[in-house]
Amino acid sequence: MQALRNCALCSTEGLLCSRTDFLQLRSNMAVFARGFSSVGLLRNTACILSSRRAMRRKLPAWTRADCISLSVSGGLCALPFYKQVEDLSHEAIIRRASSLVTDSANTYLSQTTLALVDALTQYTRALHTLIALQKRYLTSLGKLTADEEDAVWQVIIGQRVEVGDKLEECKRYEANWANATSLCELAAQAAHNAGANEASATTQSNLQVAQSQVEQVRQLSLVAERKLAETKAEEIQRVAEFAASMEKSGEDMPEAYLRED
């Protein structure tokens, strides 16, 4: 009986010992796994750093790689960012300066073109207003009293003064516009010589558009000037005929018709 108790006791102690050894083995394996993971992490990090050094050696002279490290799933990830070094050669600086010159010339051209087109438009309108007034005067020739004649002539004289002022304004803006076109031509040539072909082409295109716009409005003003000259010639003829008819009838010529234009 005593032997059976000893045997049972030994069996229990053996099971306890086996369980303790199994737990110890499991703990050792966990430690081993963590160590293996650390070794793998170090190996990956070493590979990344080695690749980074190799990348830096292979980069051309005009670039620079800046790397940052990010933590992704417990590991390291190096991301290179490339930045182009600014070209500070004499050719590049001159090319950039020529582009700035063309930008300024284009701005000057656009503003002077707008001012000249507006001035020519206002001058053309003033011409048409004067033409209309003189035609109305011709249709009422000999039908108005002396006071009415004087009032009509005051309006016509005032309109002629306005036409002269608008013409002077056109001449002033046209001088500025001529300077702008000359400047754009020089800027476009300078940009072409410096290698800024795009800036040169843009300036030449803007110059052509500005010249076309000014020419269109100028043609309208020339047409209005011709119509005014025709109206003036008609007025002279009609007044002369009216004076001749008054002389035949023995009546005095009204003073309003003797005005000098």
pLDDT digits 0-9 by tens, 73-124: 444 444 444 445 556 889 889 999 999 999 999 999 999 999 999 999 999 9
The total number of structural domains that make up the chain:
1
Q: Let me know if residue 229 belongs to a domain.
A: yes
Identify the domain containing residue 127 by its residue range: 91-249
Q: Let me know if residue 49 belongs to a domain.
A: no
Alpha-carbon distance of 253 to 245, in angstroms, equals: 10
Q: Domain with 205 in it: what CATH number?
A: 1.20.58.70
Q: Let me know if residue 38 belongs to a domain.
A: no
Q: Let me know if residue 209 belongs to a domain.
A: yes
pLDDT in tens, 178-219: 999 999 999 999 999 999 999 999 999 999 999 999 999 999
Q: Let me know if residue 55 belongs to a domain.
A: no
Q: Let me know if residue 245 belongs to a domain.
A: yes
Q: Let me know if residue 41 belongs to a domain.
A: no
Give the 3-state secondary structure of residue 145: coil
Alpha-carbon distance of 192 to 209, in angstroms, equals: 19
DSSP 258: G
CB 69 within 8 A of CB 77: yes
Angle at 255 between CA 240 and CA 162, to 5 degrees: 85
Give the 3-state secondary structure of residue 49: helix
